[in-house]
């Protein structure tokens, strides 16, 4: 599908036909296409400094961004890369190396959740649990172990989200209590396992995971690459559990969807274990474009918009509006309608043969009607830019409903 230009919530193809970008161009676009504020910030930076080596050198946009991210997350140090998978790699390597530096070299293994997604480079893929991405490369990967996912769809009938999350946390504790001597870190996607089909779970799981990880000296890595920057209703998903991770990975929305940038944040304690004259204790990991000034300027403009336009508050009103319109979604073969912040999802409930057809035709049908949806397996989701208007919400819902009805 050749796209010629974007404007706000819309993409325009080469023939001028428009499509509502209900997936925020793979979860990266927060404030619409052709956003004047972000565009102007990049243009200004382009006239000042496009790039400089970040080893031994620094520049204003990366310093300001680090200070602002540190204030927002409560984690004091930033390490930059250009994509989400690299942020995961950095967190894994830094956790492993930290334990070596503090004399606990036996702590080398990682655990993640069932159905997790943390990126597709070899380290990130090792803690990812999606068979279609992983199976081919299995011989190349490091071993990791998956813990029960607190995704509420996996609960017993009648079990509350909270009760199920606590049951999963209890199983996590059993595993960690037996294996902590060899465990470096637990990595999780806080509140929503997006690539698993928007699997949502109760914040109590994160609270318990934090307590367990602290008790048994295992790092907690929060992969907020998809859920950070307001997606779940708070700036960062971990805020809803009121606990701090040891590492936080951010990317996707960080530049408002303009340029590739990622960052791994960590604590003073972990930073201190690397700060030494001995090179072997240092974190020798680098990317050529680390801390790119243009990308940092887009990130700063994105943070400015959050501050100046009270985005989290206005998103709550948009979410309320969308929720009042969900009454339309009755008498359709769907289940598990769920919502958190600016993410909505439901699963289709067709017989298996029909489900196969659904996968082939629903996407095309929605696209033909001018709506970009990208179902994950049986899950249909909406994850629109925060600039979506009520009229555009109506359009998104009406066209989704029509595509479902046409299919029934
Ligand atoms: C997208 C994503 C990644 C990987 O980011 P890339 O920039 O695609 O490498 C990692 N973790 C989560 C939770 C993601 O959604």
Per the annotation, does 10 bind a ligand?
A: no
* Architecture, CATH, for domain 3-34+310-407: Alpha-Beta Complex (3.90)
For a ligand 1 pocket test, name from 23, 25, 118 the mutation site with the most ligand atoms within 8 angstroms of its C-beta: 118
Contact 253 CB / ligand 1 (< 6 Å): no
Q: Residue 211: how many CB atoms within 10 A of its CB?
A: 14
pLDDT per position as a tens digit, 203-236: 999 999 999 999 999 999 999 999 999 999 999 9
354-356-360 Cα angle (round to 5) = 110
Which residue in 105, 147, 104 sits closest to 127, CA to CA? 147
pLDDT value at residue 231: 98
Residue 121 CA: which ligand 1 atom is closest?
9
What are the residue ranges of CATH 3.90.1150.10 in the chain?
Answer: 3-34+310-407
Supply 165's token pair.
Answer: 């999350």
Supply 11's token pair.
Answer: 């993409």
Per the annotation, does 288 bind a ligand?
A: yes
Which residue's structure tokens are 């008790």? 215
Contact 83 CB / ligand 1 (< 6 Å): yes
pLDDT value at residue 357: 87
Contact 239 CB / ligand 1 (< 6 Å): no
Per the annotation, does 336 bind a ligand?
A: no
pTM of the model: 0.98
Q: What is the DSSP letter of 109?
A: E
Per the annotation, does 286 bind a ligand?
A: yes
* Architecture, CATH, for domain 39-307: 3-Layer(aba) Sandwich (3.40)
Are 348 and 360 within 8 A, CB to CB?
A: no
Residue 26 CA: which ligand 1 atom is closest?
1
Contact 186 CB / ligand 1 (< 6 Å): no
pLDDT value at residue 408: 62
What are the residue ranges of CATH 3.40.640.10 in the chain?
Answer: 39-307
Per the annotation, does 27 bind a ligand?
A: no
For a ligand 1 pocket test, name from 82, 85, 113, 376 the mutation site with the most ligand atoms within 8 angstroms of its C-beta: 85
Distance 335 CA to ligand 1 centre (A): 27
For a ligand 1 pocket test, name from 29, 224, 225, 229 the mutation site with the most ligand atoms within 8 angstroms of its C-beta: 225
What are the residue ranges in the chain where pLDDT is below 50? none
- Exposure string for 273-287, b = 16+ CB within 10 A, e = fewer: bbeeeeeeeebeeeb
State how beta strands 3-7 and 334-340 pair: unpaired
The set of residues, in sequence order, having a beta carbon less than 8 Å from that of 332 and lying 6+ positions away, is 401, 404, 405, 408
Element containing residue 10 per DSSP (H, E): strand 10-13
Residue 124 CA: which ligand 1 atom is closest?
10
Per the annotation, does 297 bind a ligand?
A: no
């Amino acid at each position: 599908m050749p796209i010629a230009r974007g404007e706000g919530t819309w993409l325009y193809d080469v023939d001028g036909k428009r499509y509502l970008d209900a997936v925020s161009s793979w979860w990266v676009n927060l404030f619409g296409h052709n956003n004047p504020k972000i565009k102007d910030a990049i243009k200004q930076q382009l006239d000042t400094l496009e790039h400089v080596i970040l080893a031994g050198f620094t520049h204003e946009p990366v310093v300001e961004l680090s200070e602002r991210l540190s204030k927002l997350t409560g984690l004091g140090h930033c390490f930059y890369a250009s994509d989400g998978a690299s942020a995961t790699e950095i967190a894994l390597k830094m956790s492993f190396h930290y334990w070596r530096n503090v004399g606990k070299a036996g702590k080398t293994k990682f655990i993640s959740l069932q159905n997790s997604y943390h990126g597709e480079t070899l380290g990130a893929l090792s803690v990812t649990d999606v068979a279609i991405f992983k199976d081919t490369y299995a011989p190349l990967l490091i071993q990791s172990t998956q813990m029960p996912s607190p995704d509420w769809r996996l609960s017993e009938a009648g079990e509350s989200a909270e009760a199920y999350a606590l049951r999963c946390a209890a199983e996590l504790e059993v595993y960690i209590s037996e294996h902590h001597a060899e465990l470096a870190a637990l990595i999780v996607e806080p509140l929503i396992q997006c690539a698993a089909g928007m699997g949502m779970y109760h914040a109590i799981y994160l609270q318990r995971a934090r307590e367990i990880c602290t008790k048994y000296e295992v790092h907690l890595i929060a992969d907020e690459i998809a859920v950070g920057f307001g997606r779940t209703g708070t700036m960062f998903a971990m805020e809803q559990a009121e606990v701090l991770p040891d590492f936080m990975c951010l990317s996707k929305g960080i530049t408002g969807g303009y340029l590739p940038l990622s960052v791994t944040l960590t604590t003073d304690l972990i930073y201190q274990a690397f700060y030494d004259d001995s090179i072997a204790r240092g974190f020798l990991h680098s990317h050529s474009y680390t801390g790119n000034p243009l990308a940092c300027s887009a990130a700063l403009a994105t943070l400015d918009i959050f501050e100046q336009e009270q985005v989290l508050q206005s998103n709550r009103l948009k979410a309320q509006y969308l929720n009042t319109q969900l009454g339309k979604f009755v008498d359709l073969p769907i289940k598990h309608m769920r919502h958190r912040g600016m993410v909505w999802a439901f699963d289709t409930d067709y017989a298996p043969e029909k489900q196969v057809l659904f996968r082939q035709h629903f996407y095309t049908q929605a696209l033909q009607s001018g709506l970009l949806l990208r179902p994950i397996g049986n899950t249909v989701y909406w994850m629109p830019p925060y600039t979506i208007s009520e009229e555009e919400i109506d359009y998104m819902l009406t066209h989704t409903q029509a595509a479902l009805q046409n299919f029934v």
